[in-house]
Amino acid sequence: MFLGEYLHSIDQRGRLALPKKIRTEISGNELVLARGFEKCILVYTRADWERETGKELQLPISDKKGREIKRYLFSGAELAEIDKVGRVLIPQLLKNYAGIEKEVAVLGAGDHFEVWEPKVWRQYFERREKKI
């Protein structure tokens, strides 16, 4: 289970060194990175991604909302490998989407983790905190 909140930076090549507590929860070295719904990057193990998106794949092509969610999820998703020192390359498309330049907040979210631009994360969290 992915837990915690960590501040990290992305190197000049666009690689994120995954926090150790996040790395220990990953089996294998393959991840799926995808657009999140709140200007963040979703990160799943490949098996968990396939399990989660399997729900959307069951929707018929005739279902308009199903087509829209499939396009959103799959067009912005990429396979990534964790290198030998625990880094993952964040694709430019996803960095642009999330507004990420150098610093990131890595957040555990149970069955996946998320990568946010820190200021966007703080603003989002403060809005949610007021509603709780």
pLDDT one-digit tens code per residue, 66-109 = 899 889 999 999 999 999 999 999 999 999 999 999 999 999 99
Q: How far is it, in rounded angstroms, from Cα 65 to Cα 69?
A: 6
Task: Tabulate helix, strand, coil % of the chain (nearest 5).
Answer: 35, 30, 35
pLDDT at 62 over 80: yes
User: Considering the chain, what percentage of its residues have pLDDT values greater than 90?
Assistant: 80
> How high does pLDDT run on average in the chain?
94
CATH topology of domain 5-131: Chemotaxis protein chec (3.40.1550)
pTM for the whole thing? Answer: 0.93
What number of CA atoms fall less than 13 Å from residue 17's CA on the CB side? 7
What is the arithmetic mean of pLDDT over 13-38? 95
Residue 85 DSSP label: T
The model's confidence at residue 4, banded by pLDDT at 50, 70 and 90, is: very high
Segment among 29-33, 56-60, 94-98, 104-108 with least mean pLDDT: 56-60
What is the arithmetic mean of pLDDT over 103-127? 96
